[in-house]
C-alpha cells in the first residue's frame, strides 16, 4: 500500500462476497499506525473507506481495474 505518508503492508484481510475488509500497518513519524480498510467491489470498480485513530474522519477511496498488456480478459 502506497500513500503520500509512506508505504505500508496489509497485515490481514478478508473477502466475503463483494465486500472486503483489511488492516494495514505503516509508520508515521516513527510511530506505528493502523489503518482499517472497508470496501465493496461492483463489477470493475472498488470503493470504500480507510480509517485510523490518527485522523478524525474516514478517507474515501475508489478504484477501477485496468487492462495490462498480456493480461487475459
Say what the pLDDT of residue 71 is.
Answer: 56
Say what the pLDDT of residue 65 is.
Answer: 86
Question: 10-residue block means of pLDDT along the chain (73 residues)?
Answer: 76 95 87 91 95 88 81 54
Comparing CA positions, the residue from 9, 13, 11, 38 lying closest to residue 26 is 9
d(CA 57, CA 52): 8
Exposure string of 57-72, with b = 16+ CB inside 10 Å and e = fewer, is eeeeeeeeeeeeeeee
Amino acid at each position: 500500500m502506497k500513500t503520500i505518508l509512506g508505504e505500508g503492508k496489509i497485515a490481514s484481510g478478508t473477502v466475503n462476497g463483494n465486500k472486503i475488509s483489511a488492516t494495514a500497518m505503516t509508520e508515521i513519524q516513527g510511530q506505528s499506525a493502523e489503518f482499517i480498510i472497508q470496501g465493496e467491489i461492483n463489477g470493475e470498480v472498488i470503493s470504500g473507506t480507510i480509517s485510523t485513530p490518527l485522523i478524525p474522519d474516514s478517507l474515501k477511496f475508489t478504484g477501477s481495474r485496468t487492462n495490462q498488456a498480456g493480461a487475459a480478459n
